[in-house]
Structure 1
Amino acid sequence: MSCAAKKEIANASERTFLGLDLSTQTLKACILNENLKLLKEVHVNFDSELPEFRTTGGAIIDKADNRNVTVPTIMWVKALDMLMDKLMLEGVDFAKIAAVSGSAQQHGTVYWQKGAEETLKNLSSSDFLHQQLNSSFSVTSSPIWMDSSTTKQCKQLEEAVGGPEKLAEITGSRAYERFSGSQIAKIFQTKPEAYKNTERISLISSFLCSIFLGKIAPIDISDGSGMNLLDIHTKKWNQTLLDTCGPNLAEKLGEPVPSYSDVGPISKYFKERYNFNSNCRVIAHTGDNPASLIGMRLYEGWIAVSLGTSDTAFLWLKEPKMVLDGHVLCNPLDENAYMALLCFKNGSLTRERIKNKCANGSWDIFDQLLNSTPRGNFGNMGLYYDIQEILPFLQGDYRFTKTQATCKFTSLEVEVRALIEGQFIAKRAYAEEFGVQVGQGTKILATGGASQNKGILQVLADVFNSPVYVFKDANSAMVGAGYQAKHGLVKSSMTYEDMISNLPQPELACEPYHDANEIYTPMVERYRSIVEDLIKK
């Protein structure tokens, strides 16, 4: 680091950074100091604090067709008004904020009415945002990631480029109903006048960024790679896919930018209303999954496994690899790298069900049962999908002894271990499709509720034949946005690795037993064979 850079950082010891996360159910914000220590945190819950919008779990599900899931766009704007007031009540000195960045639920889209950018540029600091932006959206309710009504448009996207494999090769994913491209196509096909009157289309992340910027913000390449529209190799929109969705779509989307881009100064509205410093910079906002990669401080060689309502695995990739199961996104920290994302719907709720069934609702008894069975579970394996799973596309419970399928296991402890081993074997199987070689320098970073359970983590270590570390910070997307705010500001004088070098390191939770690979590698191969047979049926 240069002397000039050191001097600049020393003189900036009082500055802070604002990170936001617009998730499905809440809008959160944190203030980090120069050393990235959390100073303040506030949030607004949509259901309880904005009841006039009548959301459930932050969304509105169409009663006539539950595949249609939307959110009134203006609700998010009003939530931001409330959030800023809460930050004021916490005594935040906005004049010290050097940069702001944010994350948001991926795949949702916002449709700005013609003239909206002019409105953004001329907001009056004496009025709330939601009062002034109420008529700025040509589509007043934004489709979000929970929507699954675009099967027709997904087929059109795949057919336009020669099939799902080709689409995955170009964009990092085959067509998914929740992705933005098919959602935009549906708006054009079902609401042509609204599409015609749309000046710009934002992702939810770039929509949030636009408000702070005072003009329509660009879409970043990481969140943009979750649209089925961005060529992840060139980092540009694919024209064939744009034409499939709607006319003049390139103009409506604007040019994508790297995720750490400084996109401009904070808007006049925030300077006048909240006393933000004129030198405060707005850094591009990204999706919650890329922001979580940043917040978990994931490097090459690490796999992050989040054990929550849904289980998620993040992988840092040097090169993209075409797979039909899973997603490849552009890396938010390195334009020349990628990240893989694996989502498993049946996570903690399935673990809760088996705990209630086999352990009288007690995690202590569950742990005793898990720890009383040997690694490999005598060859027994279980696959449990309470709801339709993504990876693999199955639903129901499937149990197998060493030699055949079975309706039930001989003991409760076998059932418990079959569940946990089966969940992690699946994650390893799909991770290996991306080229991950477990046990060869790989480290696992575990987060989420189940990461507090040592017995479960030991199974994770054994299945992956890799040490498991725990990361105690919650809200990794929100904190990741705060990290990105500083990263975007200092990237010319400091590397990301240097920037986070003084933060507490993840703690080692457990290491695999010496015979783990010998036990679980054959079980992974058997899992693949079982799933292939089940899908054929």
Structure 2
Amino acid sequence: MAAGGDWWYLGVDLSTQQVKGMVIDDNLNVIHETNVKFDDDLPEFGTQNGVQVQSDKLTITTPVLLWVKALDLLLERMKAANLDFSKLKSLSGSGQQHGSVYWKEGANQTLKNMTADRSLHQILESSFSVKDSPVWMDSSTTEECRQLEKCAGGPQKLADITGSRAYERFTGNQIAKINKKYPEEYKKTERISLVSSFVASIFLGNYAAIDYSDGSGMNLMDIRAHEWSQQCLNACAPGLKEKLGDPLPSHSILGSISPYFVKRFGFSSECKVIAFTGDNPASLAGMRLQQGDIAVSLGTSDTVFLWIEDPRPTLQGHIFCNPVKSNAYMALICFKNGSLTRERIRDESGSVSWDGFTKAMKATSPGNDGNLGFYFDVMEITPSAIGVHRFNGQNCKVSEFSKEIEVRAVVESQALAKRAYAEKLGYKVLKGTRVLATGGASTNLDILQVLADVFNAPVYTIDTANSACLGCAYRAKHGLEAVLGQSFANSVKMAASPKLAVNPICEADKIYCPIVARYQELEKLVRNRS
């Protein structure tokens, strides 16, 4: 293991399919990485892609003890790699958003009295009132969602309070289902954690608070007051506030690490546990977004992260509390039709490679001579629509475009959607705005050029293969420095900077600003026809 600075910081990310650990030094260099893949390393739990799909095909869960055993294995692998745990000054982490864990009565005493001669799995095997945790892929709570929106005064009112309309995967609706379907198990539940605060609780040896950022992905928290909405709690289950505990700022120091880890692995007794958060907020930290930035992940699904100061919740997208700055917010927008749609258009245009795709796009000019398309091969999330819809410059629907126009149309429409929905949530493109691009398509400079032109902002590329885990390590360091008034940006200023990929063309704003407005008007027609 390479020697680093005087102190080290640990980030732990428990995602859908694996748990990762990453250690950085004082200079923000990554000096150690380890992971445990659930399906491969723990086959006895019978998961596929980290989850178990129940017979109704809607209920999707993961055994809580799988996660516990994975932590055992992760730490043992780090120990086998001769990691010097005593050099860790602090740790933080993240968990897949929206998953929930139900601690049984008496579990906190078990956490407080863990003995170092036994594994975590052995110690905690009887500590959960619900054995299988609902995760973000679950879609079995439609009835509970409608009930919550009704109690809140409608979907927009719920979004105004919690940052999102009711979603099946969100924790409040999952808790409502547990209470209704398994009332005895709910009564026996002493504490409900998110996946993030569940892992933090293990390291702390005590129930860990839910942080503001992950807590705002539950349909339960008033995102402006930073406290649970009693109206939403009442709609979901009785006595819920006591079972959740009070949420805390995302940079909070929860306390020192449990003596269990000092004795079993050699952690320093002074090592601090910083509040854990969700994987999406942790990715924002890992990508080091700053005020005014927008991050775009161009993958199977295209995802947009935004730093927002004045949020305007809508029925599409999500507003979360910002994990690295108090009283700021982040927005997340997911577009289901991403790379697979681009690949289909590439193949149907007769191109055998991305070189042919970009050659076809270069045969047209920015703005595509007024031709505009909507490409929803599968039912889109943002907006809720399906099908391919093409419009010429006079807003008349047409059945087909030439292959060159089609190629540019799909790239422009995807970029226009990102800007249109970002602005609906309160994002403003200003001087100094940066677009940070990642994902498979971020290597295509011509696609990035369209993104730069539509946003009228330079596009930078950033390697974020492990952005959530890296963000956790950064947050571990910042949590200690935040007490001294240090900003997150200053804490991580020594990290490698993103690389400038492309600048917008000089006429970009004049070309695309009117098209954004036109896109929004035509989208209304598309939604009505879908």
Same fold (TM over 0.5): yes
Of residues 304, 313, 316 in structure 2, which corresponds to 1:325? Answer: 316
Question: Could you tell me how far 1:156 is from its partner in structure 2?
Answer: 1.1
Question: Could you tell me how far 1:507 is from its partner in structure 2?
Answer: 1.5
Q: Any residues of structure 2 matched to 1:426-437 within 5 Å, and which?
A: 426-437=417-428
Q: Does 1:36 align with 2:28?
A: yes
Give the distance between the partners of 2:461 and 2:442, measured in 1 at CA. 7
Give the distance between the partners of 1:90 and 1:378, measured in 2 at CA. 59
Q: Which residue of 2 aligns with 1:8?
A: none
Q: Secondary structure in 2 aligned to 1:43?
A: strand
Q: Which residue of 2 aligns with 1:190?
A: 181
How far does the alpha carbon of each residue in 1:308-338 deviate from its partner, in whole angstroms, 9 at most, with x for none?
A: 2221111111222232221111111122111
Give the distance between the partners of 2:264 and 2:345, measured in 1 at CA. 52
Give the distance between the partners of 2:302 and 2:247, measured in 1 at CA. 29
Question: Could you tell me how far 1:96 is from its partner in structure 2?
Answer: 0.4
Q: Does 1:418 align with 2:371?
A: no
Q: Which residue of 2 aligns with 1:270?
A: 261
Q: Does 1:249 align with 2:240?
A: yes
Question: Could you tell me how far 1:136 is from its partner in structure 2?
Answer: 1.3
Q: Structure 1 residues 230-239 or 351-360, which shifts more?
A: 351-360
Give the distance between the partners of 2:357 and 2:37, measured in 1 at CA. 33
Q: Which residue of 2 aligns with 1:9?
A: none
Does the aligned pair in 2 maintain the 1:380–1:400 contact within 8 Å? yes
Identical-pair percentage? 54
Question: Could you tell me how far 1:14 is from its partner in structure 2?
Answer: 1.4
Question: Could you tell me how far 1:451 is from its partner in structure 2?
Answer: 1.1
Q: Secondary structure in 2 aligned to 1:332?
A: coil
Q: Which residue of 1 aligns with 2:447?
A: 456
Of residues 342, 345, 348 in structure 1, which corresponds to 2:339? Answer: 348
Q: Secondary structure in 2 aligned to 1:139?
A: coil
Letter in 1 for 2:409: A
Letter in 2 for 1:454: L
Does the aligned pair in 1 maintain the 2:164–2:318 contact within 8 Å? yes
Does the aligned pair in 1 maintain the 2:460–2:500 contact within 8 Å? yes
Question: Could you tell me how far 1:379 is from its partner in structure 2?
Answer: 2.0
Of residues 110, 124, 127 in structure 2, which corresponds to 1:136? Answer: 127
Q: Does 1:168 align with 2:168?
A: no
Give the distance between the partners of 2:41 and 2:393, measured in 1 at CA. 53
Letter in 2 for 1:25: Q
Q: Which residue of 2 aligns with 1:5?
A: none
Of residues 491, 494, 501 in structure 1, which corresponds to 2:482? Answer: 491
Give the distance between the partners of 1:355 and 1:46, measured in 2 at CA. 35
When normalised by structure 1's length, the TM-score is 0.95
Q: Does 1:224 align with 2:226?
A: no
Question: Could you tell me how far 1:438 is from its partner in structure 2?
Answer: 2.6
How far does the alpha carbon of each residue in 1:81-101 deviate from its partner, in whole angstroms, 9 at most, with x for none?
A: 111122122221101011010
Q: Does 1:535 align with 2:519?
A: no
Give the distance between the partners of 1:58 and 1:369, measured in 2 at CA. 40
Q: Structure 1 residues 453-462 or 435-444, which shifts more?
A: 435-444
Letter in 1 for 2:190: E
Q: Secondary structure in 2 aligned to 1:148?
A: coil
Of residues 393, 406, 412 in structure 2, which corresponds to 1:402? Answer: 393
Give the distance between the partners of 2:23 and 2:264, measured in 1 at CA. 18
Q: Structure 1 residues 325-334 or 93-102, which shifts more?
A: 325-334
Question: Could you tell me how far 1:110 is from its partner in structure 2?
Answer: 0.6
In structure 2, do the counterparts of structure 1 residues 398 and 216 end up closer, same or farther at CA, with 3 Å as the change threshold? Answer: same
Letter in 2 for 1:326: G
Q: Which residue of 2 aligns with 1:65?
A: 56
Does the aligned pair in 1 maintain the 2:39–2:48 contact within 8 Å? yes
Q: Structure 1 residues 491-500 or 205-214, which shifts more?
A: 491-500
Q: Any residues of structure 2 matched to 1:144-183 within 5 Å, and which?
A: 144-183=135-174
Unpaired stretches in structure 2, ≥5 consecutive residues: none
Give the distance between the partners of 2:346 and 2:79, measured in 1 at CA. 44
Q: Secondary structure in 1 aligned to 2:97?
A: coil
RMSD, matched Cα:
1.5
Give the distance between the partners of 2:169 and 2:182, measured in 1 at CA. 18
Q: Secondary structure in 2 aligned to 1:389?
A: coil
Q: Structure 1 residues 303-312 or 186-195, which shifts more?
A: 303-312
Question: Could you tell me how far 1:216 is from its partner in structure 2?
Answer: 1.2
Q: Which residue of 2 aligns with 1:519?
A: 511
Letter in 1 for 2:503: E
Of residues 333, 357, 364 in structure 2, which corresponds to 1:366? Answer: 357
Q: Secondary structure in 2 aligned to 1:55?
A: coil
Letter in 1 for 2:161: I
Q: Which residue of 1 aligns with 2:14?
A: 22
Question: Could you tell me how far 1:474 is from its partner in structure 2?
Answer: 2.3
Q: Which residue of 2 aligns with 1:339?
A: 330
When normalised by structure 2's length, the TM-score is 0.96
Does the aligned pair in 2 maintain the 1:121–1:214 contact within 8 Å? yes
In structure 2, do the counterparts of structure 1 residues 354 and 44 end up closer, same or farther at CA, with 3 Å as the change threshold? Answer: farther
Q: Secondary structure in 2 aligned to 1:138?
A: coil
In structure 2, do the counterparts of structure 1 residues 42 and 371 end up closer, same or farther at CA, with 3 Å as the change threshold? Answer: farther
Does the aligned pair in 1 maintain the 2:389–2:526 contact within 8 Å? no
Give the distance between the partners of 1:298 and 1:236, measured in 2 at CA. 25
In structure 2, do the counterparts of structure 1 residues 226 and 279 end up closer, same or farther at CA, with 3 Å as the change threshold? Answer: same
Unpaired stretches in structure 1, ≥5 consecutive residues: 1-11
Q: Which residue of 2 aligns with 1:386?
A: 377
Q: Which residue of 2 aligns with 1:290?
A: 281
Q: Which residue of 2 aligns with 1:3?
A: none
How far does the alpha carbon of each residue in 1:470-516 deviate from its partner, in whole angstroms, 9 at most, with x for none?
A: 11242111100000001111212333222112222212111111121
Give the distance between the partners of 2:19 and 2:375, measured in 1 at CA. 33
Letter in 2 for 1:263: L
Question: Could you tell me how far 1:55 is from its partner in structure 2?
Answer: 1.8
Of residues 75, 80, 87 in structure 1, which corresponds to 2:71? Answer: 80
Question: Could you tell me how far 1:461 is from its partner in structure 2?
Answer: 0.3
Question: Could you tell me how far 1:245 is from its partner in structure 2?
Answer: 0.8
Give the distance between the partners of 1:363 and 1:91, measured in 2 at CA. 44
Give the distance between the partners of 1:245 and 1:293, measured in 2 at CA. 30
Question: Could you tell me how far 1:359 is from its partner in structure 2?
Answer: 4.7
In structure 2, do the counterparts of structure 1 residues 338 and 347 end up closer, same or farther at CA, with 3 Å as the change threshold? Answer: same
Give the distance between the partners of 2:527 and 2:380, measured in 1 at CA. 12
Question: Could you tell me how far 1:130 is from its partner in structure 2?
Answer: 1.3
Question: Could you tell me how far 1:367 is from its partner in structure 2?
Answer: 2.1
Q: Structure 1 residues 434-443 or 465-474, which shifts more?
A: 434-443
Q: Size of the alignment, in residue pairs?
A: 524
Of residues 190, 195, 198 in structure 2, which corresponds to 1:207? Answer: 198
Does the aligned pair in 1 maintain the 2:454–2:509 contact within 8 Å? yes
Does the aligned pair in 2 maintain the 1:439–1:464 contact within 8 Å? no
Question: Could you tell me how far 1:370 is from its partner in structure 2?
Answer: 2.2
